[in-house]
Structure 1
């Protein structure tokens, strides 16, 4: 049933969900799943007969059973496991190190299986030491028959969940190995089994021809040679599976480097790995995806913001906190916000903007307090002429008169973001500071136009920061002298 759903998912092209599976998430998931596979094989290495554990917390339950029954360990199986490990691990490393020089990898697994089967058969290990062997393996194929359609209502819901998890496992494995070996995958057509894929990749399989060879060997085993493996110890098969998991388990060596590059990705890796291993592969993958999306929200909730300066002899503006010797424009502040502007981070946007420029609300409040005070008048008598001076004028050329918001790093806006920009512009204009928007992408510009940010499209939008600054300087030159409160008077008004 799950297979039917997976085929339907491929038919309806739902592979786009693979974009939500980050590299850190995929790596953590595969490592966690490897612990689950390793745990399932551990009992065979010790020759223990334990009840099968499934569902949530199966890894912990299995290890509890193992330690409770550790005194029942079959010494012969344990010795066989250790010998197989001593043979397989070095040869695997040799195959990996000299794979460019070897025409074909050394078939160590096949050699070990044949040798172990012969040793177990002629040494009569099962009769003498009660080792766990493969036992009777039936040959041939079961006759095909139609499924019991009465069971479909009972399994349909579980099959949907299994198909989604299976699809995610398929995509995660495919993308992990595609990245490792330098090719691309199509999420709508890839298929990969967890244990088989890990084993095949570690043995050097690179093309789909390996599946043909595998199918032919399985066919030969099922039809002819299956009874020959009657005496093969299960511990040998368990060791082969565990050894081929070493690639996924070696991901721990990459953690220090990952931590230096991105601490957030490292945390995602650990959360996904631990939840996959300790809870279950299905729930672990779901937790990893949800946590990864939560981390994306956190990153946009408090993004980077900075003031910009002009690179000498260019029209390029960069962060003044990241680069030195940048030129600042008198009376103009250039602010960059590196994230989408939406309901989650709107307050962060305003807070960062006010902190790096000035808070128009506090300035407006100060102006209102000053207006309530009585204006002290100084009377000066010179040659019978009396002048009343109520306000001292300031001709400081560094007085802030324009804020340019560099929107190049704002990917999109929602209604809350549009309202925030309107509010910011209104507050600044109330104290005589104009707000200009530069380098808006088409999506942001269309959102602002539809949101009626301005009456005319060309009023506040500029193709570049340099163009916005030129416009601001031209406006300031036309207006004349700037006052401390942001107001300005032309030369004609001053003469009056």
Structure 2
């Protein structure tokens, strides 16, 4: 054994000897010192006008971008990318307005004002904010709840009858947008961007996929042209499909035909024509099939008067012109707050994860805190106009990237296109069939259901992550969006507790030459030292897992008894080896124990006492400075 393994040749030292030799200096982490540092950091911008001006300019990153902007190479790409993204904004804004419970024209406003404001405050160069199906669905639910409440309180003397008489869905939506902005800005001010770390990719993906099922269920009746009663509460998806199936015989034939043609048009265009055109002509700019479909079906609907002849539903009135600013309805701010919190959670989770992914891919940096400020300011300023809450849309953002956008200025050209539609072209879309908008929404969500490979990878990678995805998906579909989000977050936090309480641990064995130590159970050719067990605990040592830790140490001790029952008894029979055979060691590899609390310290003391009583020496290795 001595010939096979080499040991580190230096004098052994305990922690006290090591500290004395290298001059250990304790960090002063007292509350008073930390408070002084925080105070100096917060007041530093106010120490001079120059620092204050620089601090305020930090809220407008585009000012720093413009001097470095390459007008020759970046501007053409931003123009093309911005116009391409703007083309997607038009049909999506009109379509998702129905989910929010407001008129189609407000979808155009929602694709204009927040996008314009976000351009000034953002550090992400590619995120495309605007209408997003899940957020629009949550807005529609909030709209329904608040409008129902105030309708029920119409005889309450404490509420002005004038307020109730004039309260409309768009007023609720814009006030909700304003409150969402306040919550987002407050999250940035309080440095709460770390909360997004608890929204795992699996949680967000499962939740969004579940919400997509609800969105699709809400569109099925429009696709078929059937009238079904409004349903709410748990199992909405199943109730809606049941109601639609029970009325399917009453489907509008014209609506069904237009829907089928629209599905086929988008499917063939995206899956067959686009790949062929890209490969054949090397064109990277996406073809705007949604806008083409809107133009064609609007023309057909208008030319053949499909609404009058066959009773097909159309968009209806879309007034031209810009809306005037309006003050939020302050009497419903508290009613909006609970909904704003859940909507903000979804927006931040999707937005920050998308911004980080693209920043890494495109090799630039973003400021997560500034992104919260950007979202908050965009929503607060946008909330002064008749809009609904907006978020980053993943599909539209990828189109923005693929079409060549380089910077935030691409949003300016998207807004210019939207401005033309709002001022002059909006009324031309009044004959657009509602079923076409429903088809656009469903096809936009199609990619969310292509999960076979993704779920397989989760199954092989982490069963807990797969379970997190399933819980988020099932609770969202089975209950509703709000409850699904809350339960998903609670479950994700519980998985952290479970992993902390029952962490993994490994018995290590040396490789040949003792250059490395690997898990004994994974490599059959490895063997332990006869009287030395090396044990690694893969978690901070905290109160939830101290019992598990002590049980693992006891198991290490018992392994000697199980493997060599006469270890202690045979010592007296061989006096020449009495000392060496009676000395046994357990070395705890502390490299994964990043933190230890008081109960963890007590557990270590108990482990030392228990091992000593069994003639085993307990040693610690690779303990960190915070250990």
TM-score, length basis structure 1? 0.75
| Residues 1:404 and 2:404 aligned together | no
| Residues 1:350 and 2:550 aligned together | yes
- Output the CA distance in 1 between the equivalents of 2:445 and 2:518: 47
CA RMSD of aligned residues (A): 3.1
Determine which of 327, 335, 338 is the counterpart of 1:146: 327
Equivalent residues in 2 for 1:72-111 (5 A)?
Answer: 72-94=250-272, 95=274, 99=278, 101-111=282-292
Q: Deviations over 1:117-155 (max 9, x none)?
A: 111111221122110111122222443333343x05xx3
- Output the CA distance in 2 between the equivalents of 1:53 and 1:10: 37
How far apart are 1:38 and its partner, in Å?
A: 1.7
- Output the CA distance in 2 between the equivalents of 1:213 and 1:332: 69
Conservation of the 8 A alpha-carbon contact between 2:237 and 2:478: yes
Aligned to 2:464: 264
432-441 or 330-339, larger mean C-alpha shift: 330-339
How far apart are 1:225 and its partner, in Å?
A: 1.9
| Residues 1:441 and 2:619 aligned together | no
Conservation of the 8 A alpha-carbon contact between 1:330 and 1:400: no
Closer/same/farther in 2, CA of residues 96 and 288 from structure 1, 3 Å limit: farther
Equivalent residues in 2 for 1:193-232 (5 A)?
Answer: 197-201=393-397, 203=399, 207=405, 208-209=408-409, 211-232=411-432
Closer/same/farther in 2, CA of residues 311 and 392 from structure 1, 3 Å limit: closer
Aligned to 1:336: 536
Conservation of the 8 A alpha-carbon contact between 2:312 and 2:433: yes
244-253 or 410-419, larger mean C-alpha shift: 244-253
Aligned to 1:437, the other structure's residue is in SS state strand
Aligned to 1:291: 491
Determine which of 473, 480, 483 is the counterpart of 1:273: 473
Q: Deviations over 1:386-436 (max 9, x none)?
A: xxxxx7566365445222111112121122211111111111112332211
How far apart are 1:278 and its partner, in Å?
A: 2.7
Q: Deviations over 1:171-197 (max 9, x none)?
A: 225414753783565433164977871
Equivalent residues in 2 for 1:24-43 (5 A)?
Answer: 24-43=202-221
Aligned to 1:404, the other structure's residue is in SS state strand
Closer/same/farther in 2, CA of residues 245 and 233 from structure 1, 3 Å limit: same
Q: Deviations over 1:364-396 (max 9, x none)?
A: xx9xxx9xxxxxxxxxxxxxxxxxxxx756636
- Output the CA distance in 1 between the equivalents of 2:276 and 2:205: 23
How far apart are 1:19 and its partner, in Å?
A: 0.7
Conservation of the 8 A alpha-carbon contact between 2:320 and 2:426: yes
Aligned to 2:348: 170
| Residues 1:241 and 2:441 aligned together | yes
Aligned to 1:139, the other structure's residue is in SS state coil
Closer/same/farther in 2, CA of residues 115 and 46 from structure 1, 3 Å limit: same
- Output the CA distance in 2 between the equivalents of 1:129 and 1:203: 36
Closer/same/farther in 2, CA of residues 54 and 178 from structure 1, 3 Å limit: farther
Aligned to 1:414: 597
- Output the CA distance in 1 between the equivalents of 2:492 and 2:545: 18
- Output the CA distance in 2 between the equivalents of 1:343 and 1:319: 26
| Residues 1:312 and 2:512 aligned together | yes
- Output the CA distance in 1 between the equivalents of 2:622 and 2:276: 51
174-183 or 34-43, larger mean C-alpha shift: 174-183
Closer/same/farther in 2, CA of residues 399 and 161 from structure 1, 3 Å limit: farther
How far apart are 1:300 and its partner, in Å?
A: 2.5
- Output the CA distance in 1 between the equivalents of 2:297 and 2:304: 10
- Output the CA distance in 1 between the equivalents of 2:415 and 2:288: 17
- Output the CA distance in 2 between the equivalents of 1:414 and 1:98: 62
- Output the CA distance in 1 between the equivalents of 2:453 and 2:217: 21
- Output the CA distance in 2 between the equivalents of 1:400 and 1:96: 71
- Output the CA distance in 2 between the equivalents of 1:98 and 1:358: 69
How far apart are 1:90 and its partner, in Å?
A: 2.1
Determine which of 503, 518, 521 is the counterpart of 1:303: 503
| Residues 1:182 and 2:361 aligned together | yes
State the 4+ residue runs in structure 1 displaced beyond 6 angstroms: 192-196, 359-362
Number of equivalences:
416
How far apart are 1:7 and its partner, in Å?
A: 2.2
Closer/same/farther in 2, CA of residues 240 and 178 from structure 1, 3 Å limit: farther
Aligned to 2:608, the other structure's residue is in SS state helix
Aligned to 2:225: 47
Conservation of the 8 A alpha-carbon contact between 1:354 and 1:360: no
Query: Which structure has the highest helix share of the two?
Result: 2
- Output the CA distance in 2 between the equivalents of 1:423 and 1:98: 71
Determine which of 584, 607, 611 is the counterpart of 1:428: 611
Higher relative contact order (CA 8 A, sep 6+): 2
Conservation of the 8 A alpha-carbon contact between 2:588 and 2:620: yes
* Structure number, greater radius of gyration: 1
| Residues 1:133 and 2:314 aligned together | yes
Q: Deviations over 1:32-55 (max 9, x none)?
A: 222222222222111123444455
Q: Which runs of 5 or more residues in structure 1 are unaligned?
A: 371-390, 445-496
- Output the CA distance in 2 between the equivalents of 1:175 and 1:97: 32
| Residues 1:14 and 2:192 aligned together | yes
Closer/same/farther in 2, CA of residues 194 and 23 from structure 1, 3 Å limit: farther
Conservation of the 8 A alpha-carbon contact between 1:309 and 1:317: yes
Q: Which runs of 5 or more residues in structure 2 are unaligned?
A: 1-178, 380-388
